[in-house]
A = this chain, B = another copy of it.
Amino acid sequence: MAERLRILGIDPGSRLTGFGVVDCRGDVQGYVASGSVQSIGGTFPDRLRRIFQSVGEIMAEYRPDVVVVESVFMHRNASSALKLGQARSAAICATFGYDVEIHEYAPREIKQAIVGTGAATKDQVNHMVCRLLKLDGQPSSDAADALAAALCHANRRRVQRALGTAAIVAALK
From 57 to 99 in chain A, residues with beta carbon under 8 angstroms from any chain B beta carbon are: 69, 72-79, 81-90, 92-94, 96
Chain B neighbourhood of A92, CB < 8 A: 45, 48, 86, 90
From 87 to 143 in chain A, residues with beta carbon under 8 angstroms from any chain B beta carbon are: 87-90, 92-94, 96, 102, 104
Q: How many A residues touch the partner, as a band?
A: 20 to 34
As for how many copies of this chain the complex holds, the number is 2
Chain B neighbourhood of A74, CB < 8 A: 78-79
Q: Is A158 an interface residue (CB 8 A)?
A: no
Q: Nearest Cβ distance between residue A121 and chain B, in whole angstroms?
A: 23
How many Å lie between the Cα of A151 and that of B130 in the bound state? 54
Chain B neighbourhood of A48, CB < 8 A: 89, 92-93
